[in-house]
Amino acid sequence: MDTLTALALTGLLAITSFVPRASFILWLHRVKLPITVQRALRFVPAAVFTALFVPELVFAGGTLDIGLHNAKLVAGCAAIGMAVVVRNPLATILVGMAALHLARNFLAV
């Protein structure tokens, strides 16, 4: 691929990524959402986070794997517990990683 084609593709991809996102800001900034919609939108980040990570924690090899031998699930529960207690992202990551390491080494079947 020559340089001009690569630059053209990069530019077109940037435009197709930017335009849909900017359209909400540029054209809908005057729209006032109902209070019920505003309240519902507060839960979107938690719902997306849950949808992304729960399958990774409870499925191993395409099958449901809930138990102490599932190191990812054990580490995820430890990290969730830490997040609820201290509400510190760094502590949550450190506890989750330590729990994953310990679970992989000591709970392996």
Cα distances (angstroms) measured from residue 55 to each of 63, 66, 73, 108:
10, 11, 10, 20
> For residue range 16-30, what is the model confidence (pLDDT) as tens digits?
999 888 888 888 778
* Bridge partner list, 6: none
Q: State the amino acid at position 75 in one-letter form.
A: A
How much of the chain is helix, strand and coil, in % rounded to 5?
Answer: 75, 5, 20
| Domain range summary for the chain, segments of one domain joined by + | 1-31, 43-106
Token duo for residue 46: 């938690």
> For residue range 65-99, what is the model confidence (pLDDT) as tens digits?
998 889 999 999 999 999 999 999 999 999 999 99
DSSP 3-state of 40: helix
Query: Which residue, chain included where needed, has tokens 């839960």?
Result: 43
Q: State the amino acid at position 98 in one-letter form.
A: A
